[in-house]
A and B are shown apart, each in its own frame.
Chain A
Amino acid sequence: MSRSLSQRTPTDWSSPEQVRQRGRRNLGERMFALAGMLAVIAAMACLILLLGSMLYKGIGGIDLKFLTGSDATDAAEAGIWGAAKGSLLTMAVTLGLSFPVGVLTALYLEEYAPKNRWTDIIEVSINNLAAVPSIIFGLLGLAVFLNFMHLPRSAPLVGGITLALMTFPVIVIAGRNAIKAVPPSIRDAALGIGASPVQVVFHHVLPLALPGILTGTIIGMARALGETAPLLMIGMRAFIPTPPNGILDSATVLPVQIFLWSDEIDTAFIERTSAAIIVLLVILLGMNGIAIYLRNRLEKRW
């Protein structure tokens, strides 16, 4: 063994061939790192270009009148309060329905559900619902809520229910991860001093998992707030010159308002559209910021 090693001609590291090969490898190395950096730069450039172009076109359109007005045929008169209020009402319905259902489902699946075929089916359907195209939920809303149950068209109630169906799988998935992160020792300790399974979950596991669940809920709500396609299906694209007063009135929401304005031929609406986009993005970034803050501050590492 040692003889065969010593008999091999040692590599001459300074031979031109070796230098060339090392150079090639080093070059390849640098090119690869560069390609990675370029990919990140490309993605960031898209983000900056997108935000920059919206800011450039729309920042001049934001004033008090724009923020407090409602839709109008004249671009100079058009404002977003009507659509924002519609969004608010719709989100209230969505949150009121999807949060309880999502949290209860997550608790059931994570803490109580027996491992059997039935649970598997529920799990697959939740994972699939989280990835079903949003427009399919719009078709569901149109067929079931409008044509079958005869709920009022264009109303935040119907929009809210439709978006809630879309949002609660997101809450379930986030909630299950948060519940899973609560260590079993907590449950064992509570059970050990005589708490019932329901008390263990509602007095101990749920409060500890709540920050994680809230983070997931905010992210899900932000997604619902930016959603357009399903609401087009159920007719929330009406021209709404006065803000809606309740969840049964005709209403529109911010993203749909953006879509409607983007279709206008009058070029004065370009500024309005971009301004509305800025408002929407500020709200969404705020929500995501709160979610990240919650995640960093409140979530315990066990």
Chain B
Amino acid sequence: MVIALLGLVAWYLGWQRARSFAPAGGVMNRMPALPSQHASFLMLCTIVPALLVAAAWPSVSSRLVMRSVMMLPAAKNLPASPMDRDSVLSEAAGLADGSIEGAFNPLSYELAKPIAEVSHFYTLTGAVLLVALALVGFAIGYFRLKPSFKARQKVEGVVMLCLMLASLVALITTFGIVASLIFETGRFFTHVSVTEFLFSTHWSPASDVVASENNGFGAVPLFWGTIFIGAIIAMIVAIPIGVMAAIYLTQYAPRSLRAWLKPALEILAGIPTVVYGYFAALTLAPVVRNWALALGMADAPSESALAAGLVMGVMIIPLISSMSDDSIAAVPSAMRDGALALGSTKSETIRKVLIPAALPGIVGGVLLAVSRAIGETMIVVMAAGMAANMTINPFQSVTTVTTQIVQLLTGDQEFDSAKTLSAFALGLVLFIVTFILNVIAIMVVKRYREAYE
């Protein structure tokens, strides 16, 4: 708040000063920068150092507070082990800033008051430091303003720096994902062997891990369940419907109908997955169970691969349909006209010319759809079940990688247990597989687009 105010004041003063450079009668165009650019320069000089301090100060000051508290006489009574000491100190800090009402440890009450005093002192120090820095920055900037000063170049340099930093966020995020997944997975594999994780077919994670023994971390049933639901059942539903819908919309539907149907398909794509999951669990699962009973499966479970897969297929339809739509539209009309001129009927043209020509684009879309489906979480969490079965019976309950990640991480376990860490190993596998699928899909679609341009 204060910084913003200071910045505004600086901007105004800089503007005034730059205006005063202009000769009376006001011909500005001899100066290399406009008054507003001088003003922006001065504002940046004022607020950037202050902002940096403001961002760093809380962590610095909390460390300073803790150090001075440790020197108090009362701190002598603190428990020796670092973990107990930290818990008492954090309780005391909570009491001091009023975020907690009562403390567990009596010592916390004793420490709360000094902590409040000390942190008050450091907050004040920080504020003073901040204002001082802003003033120093302002002074330096102010005296650099001259009619010949190239304020624009300086300001634009800062803008370019911001742009470059923003574009690095994507890289940092990707790096953060890879680093955190690999780090936690590495810790997991100190408890459980890689071969057990990747090749064993027994999944029932044990809380207490015994080294060199099978601890129920065999992820093969999860991989199978994921593929079964996401890449087989969902695709059997989504590919024919999606591709045929795209063909109908681009080739047959009258323009007015198309104008209504395309947004309707987009609505299907915009429905949150938790809604699909609820629909699968509440409406479709009982129906599927009745089918199974009718087919003579006596112990049909209420959660099944089929219910989850069907709904996931419906969710995927718009994705496949819009990718197919794009790639069919990208086929040069000369090819279509040529086929029609040779006497093929409309459907022959579509089946023998348009679809083969658009196939790379459609395949790219299907790959993206598979990547979406195997990473999809809420539908399978709500409808597929928890039992790690290796079955090809769609009426059986299966479990998937994403279901187990949610299952493992939403309980109240210790963060360091092998059970929790295994979620990160599953996440890493999921990330690698979807990454490969995405990259292939992006490459296929890109190359295909270039072929017709």
User: Which residues from chain A sit less than 8 Å from chain B, CB to CB?
Assistant: 25, 28-29, 32-33, 35-40, 42-44, 46-47, 49-50, 53-54, 100-101, 104-105, 107-109, 112-113, 121-122, 124-129, 131-137, 139-140, 142-144, 147-148, 165, 168-169, 172, 196-198, 202, 222-223, 225-229, 232-233, 237, 255-256, 258-259, 262, 270, 273-274, 277, 280-281, 284-285, 288, 292
Contact = CB atoms under 8 A, between A and B. Distances in A.
Contact of A122 (B171, B267, B405): B171
A129 B174 contact: yes
B272 A227 contact: yes
Chain B, interface size category, equals: 35 or more
A20 to B, nearest CB: 16
Nearest to A104: B166
Interface in B115-165: 152, 156, 159-160, 162-164
Please give me the 10 A-B residue pairs with the lowest Cβ-Cβ distance, nearest first. Answer: A133-B375, A226-B272, A36-B248, A39-B244, A104-B166, A32-B347, A229-B377, A143-B180, A108-B163, A125-B174
A286 to B, nearest CB: 11
Contact of B272 (A172, A233, A255): A255
Contact of A139 (B240, B266, B321, B424): B424
B113 interface: no
A138 to B, nearest CB: 8
A277 B283 CA distance: 14
B268 A140 contact: no
Interface of A is mostly: helix
Nearest to B165: A104
A131 B268 contact: no
A108 B317 CA distance: 34
A99 B424 CA distance: 29
Nearest to A111: B163
B252 A37 contact: yes
Contacts of B264: 44, 47
B399 interface: no
A43 B241 CA distance: 7
A251 to B, nearest CB: 16
Interface in B220-242: 240-242
Interface of B is mostly: helix
Contacts of B263: 292
A267 B283 CA distance: 14
Contacts of B318: 43
Contacts of B434: 131-133, 136
Contacts of B169: 101, 105, 168
A50 B247 CA distance: 24
17 contacts: A33-B346, A39-B240, A39-B241, A40-B248, A43-B317, A47-B267, A105-B169, A107-B163, A127-B438, A133-B374, A135-B427, A139-B424, A143-B180, A172-B170, A228-B378, A262-B282, A285-B270
Contacts of A104: 162-163, 166-167
Contacts of B241: 39, 42-43
A292 B260 CA distance: 13
Given A127-B438, A128-B435, A237-B410, A281 B271 contact: yes
B307 interface: no
Interface string B102-122: 000000000000000000000
Contacts of B348: 25
B180 to A, nearest CB: 4
Interface in B173-191: 173-174, 176-177, 180-181, 183-184
B430 A46 contact: no
Interface string B440-451: 001000000000
Contact of A165 (B173, B242, B381): B173
Given A105-B169, A139-B181, A54 B267 contact: no
Interface stretch (B1-9, B42-50, B202-210, B273-281): B273-281
B431 A40 contact: no
Contacts of B402: 133, 135, 229
B37 to A, nearest CB: 10
Given A36-B248, A133-B375, A50 B430 contact: no
B245 A43 contact: yes
B249 interface: yes
Nearest to A139: B427
A53 B345 CA distance: 41
B198 interface: no
B376 interface: yes
B163 A43 contact: no
B314 interface: yes
Contacts of A237: 410
Contacts of A280: 272, 275
Nearest to B433: A133
A128 B174 contact: yes
B351 interface: yes
A33 B429 CA distance: 42
B345 A25 contact: yes
Given A133-B402, A229-B273, A259-B274, 7 more contacts: A28-B347, A32-B351, A39-B243, A46-B314, A124-B439, A133-B375, A226-B273
Contact of B248 (A39, A47, A137): A39
Contacts of A128: 174, 435, 438-439, 442
A33 B252 contact: yes
Contact of B274 (A38, A168, A258): A258
Interface in B391-436: 402, 405-406, 409-410, 415, 423-424, 427, 430-431, 434-435
B93 to A, nearest CB: 13
A155 B254 CA distance: 50
B424 A277 contact: no
Nearest to B321: A43
A29 B271 CA distance: 34
B371 interface: yes
Contacts of A225: 272
B13 interface: no
B361 to A, nearest CB: 16
Contacts of B279: 50, 53-54
Contact of B270 (A43, A172, A222): A222
Interface in B318-344: 318, 321
Contact of B170 (A32, A137, A169, A288): A169
